[in-house]
Amino acid sequence: MSEHFFEYDEQAENEDDVELIEGTDFSAAVVSGTDWTTETIINQINKNNIQLNPDFQRRDAWDKSRKSNFIESLILGLPIPQLVLAERKEQRGAYIVLDGKQRLLSIRQFAAEKGDENYESLKLSGLEIRTDLKGKNLHDLKDDASYYNDVAAFENQPIRTVVIKNWPSEEFLYHVFLRLNTGSVQLAPQELRQALHPGPFVSFVDASAPDNEAIKNILKLKKPDFRMRDNELLLRFYALKNFLTDYAGDLKKFLDNTCLVFNKDWGRVEGMVTEQFNQLNFAHATIMKIFDSNSYRKWFAGDYERKFNRAIFDIMVLSFSYAEVRDATAGRETEVEELFQKLCKENYSFLSSIETTTKSLKSTFTRISVWFNELNALLNTKLPTLKFDEAANRITVV
């Protein structure tokens, strides 16, 4: 099995999924700039006024050398990119990070003292100019009087910080976030979603997805993904499994609402969520028995494509999350694979629903309903029968 991961970028969340309400008043947002010293920023992080979740360290996009060179730039007084924060609506003086999380994490790790329970200590390495600082962190420099001026230079270095207040909607912040994060290290809306909607369900997803062998296998991950595709994929499963009939074609809002509902009802739904997590693992095991390394890929022109297809992920994990379907598949794996290949070759509506405008309501309905119906016919199972309600513009269960 190839260790390289390829996917359809347009199937992942992006700016097109964020619909601003017509008439949104951009001028209502108050954007101001300030120069916070590095010492002030460290204090704000320690007070949790700047929301920098320590768990994010599992998803570092920067290696130790890049972090070290950034710290060296601060000590030398070299120009660095600005930070962009948004003030939380419910807590004045508390901020969500829109741009600069890796820089903030580097600063906080460099400042970590021995025995810090939250942040790993960053010992500088790979420096090009101040090679004498190699192997040291801020605590080490403070313990050595000869580095007094370097400590002062680091702690008093001003960092340009843009703060957005009175933002009109979450959609506004998503737009800002996505437009800021268009560089070589692109981040995903899932990161902002978790900052905007913290809670027990979101914490469960954040703790469970990175260590889940099925998700790691699907996304070819060896460690937690810095773009949080692992979290987004697990959240996508929960959303479709539990709220399919609420989907209106707005993927961002659909995933947001899943977080909101399950955070609020966690005491009631925790057991169900945990059981569905297990069902996802069972589903993946069955899918691998059927398709092996071609799992979650489209059949086209006599072969499987190399790219991971989220639309196919949807139909596969949903259908095989039912024990009845898994049991009925045993011994008939070849028939199930041939059924999927036949639909890709002969059913234009099905094919279109897994390759173009896959996030639309009609495409979502088509691929799930066609696959469910065909599996039921082949295996004599009772997957839900879906109907599209044109008047309500919703998927319904018959």
Q: Is residue 316 part of a domain?
A: yes
**Is 215 found in the same domain as 135?**
no
Tokens found for residue 191: 């990161």
The 10 Å CB-count burial string (b at 16+, else e) for 66-82 is ebbbbbbebbeeeeeee
Give how many domains the chain has, as a whole number: 2
DSSP 308: B
| Cβ neighbours of residue 159 closer than 8 Å, sequence gap 6 or more | 35, 36, 37, 38, 41, 74, 80, 82, 83
**Is 223 found in the same domain as 151?**
no
Q: Is residue 191 part of a domain?
A: no
pLDDT for the residue numbered 200? 96
Report CA-CA distances (Å) from 192 to 25, 54, 233, 325, 354: 21, 15, 15, 36, 27
Q: Among all chains, which residue has been given the structure tokens 């994060």?
A: 181
Say whether 369 sits in a helix, a strand or coil: helix
pLDDT for the residue numbered 59? 80
Q: Is the pLDDT of residue 20 over 60?
A: no
Q: Is the pLDDT of residue 294 over 90?
A: yes
Question: What predicted TM-score, i.e. pTM, was given to this entire model?
Answer: 0.82
**Is 67 found in the same domain as 133?**
yes
Question: Which residues pair with residue 34 across a beta bridge?
Answer: 161
Per-residue confidence at 1, pLDDT binned at 50, 70, 90? Answer: very low
Q: Is residue 8 part of a domain?
A: no
Report CA-CA distances (Å) from 299 to 314, 338, 348, 371, 382: 16, 10, 13, 14, 25
**Is 133 found in the same domain as 208?**
no
Per-residue confidence at 6, pLDDT binned at 50, 70, 90? Answer: low
Q: Are 83 and 96 in contact (CB under 8 A)?
A: no
Least confident piece of the model among 115-129, 176-190, 357-371, 374-388: 176-190
**Is 265 found in the same domain as 142?**
no
Q: Is residue 142 part of a domain?
A: yes
**Is 98 found in the same domain as 220?**
no
Q: What is the mean pLDDT of residues 234-247?
A: 98
The one-letter amino acid at 170: E
Per-residue confidence at 353, pLDDT binned at 50, 70, 90? Answer: very high
**Is 203 found in the same domain as 124?**
no
Return the C-alpha torsion angle 203, 359, 245, 308, nearest 10.
-60
pLDDT for the residue numbered 356? 79
Mean pLDDT, rounded, of the chain:
91
pLDDT for the residue numbered 359? 87
CA neighbor of 31 nearest in space, from 119, 138, 162? 162
Q: Is residue 18 part of a domain?
A: no
Of 147, 166, 185, the residue that ends a domain is 166
**Is 145 found in the same domain as 107?**
yes
pLDDT for the residue numbered 11? 55
**Is 288 found in the same domain as 155?**
no
Of 166, 183, 211, the residue that ends a domain is 166
**Is 242 found in the same domain as 320?**
yes
The three-point CA angle 182-184-189 to 5° equals 45
Per-residue confidence at 65, pLDDT binned at 50, 70, 90? Answer: very high
Q: Are 155 and 39 in contact (CB under 8 A)?
A: yes
Q: Is residue 136 part of a domain?
A: yes
**Is 390 found in the same domain as 351?**
yes
Of 151, 166, 181, the residue that ends a domain is 166
Instruction: Name the region of 122 (left: φ>0; alpha: ψ -120 to 50; beta: rest).
Output: beta
Q: Are 351 and 344 in contact (CB under 8 A)?
A: yes
Domain containing residue 330: 196-397
Q: Is residue 178 part of a domain?
A: no
Q: What is the mean pLDDT of residues 4-13?
A: 56
**Is 201 found in the same domain as 336?**
yes
Q: What is the mean pLDDT of residues 377-395?
A: 96
Q: Is residue 181 part of a domain?
A: no
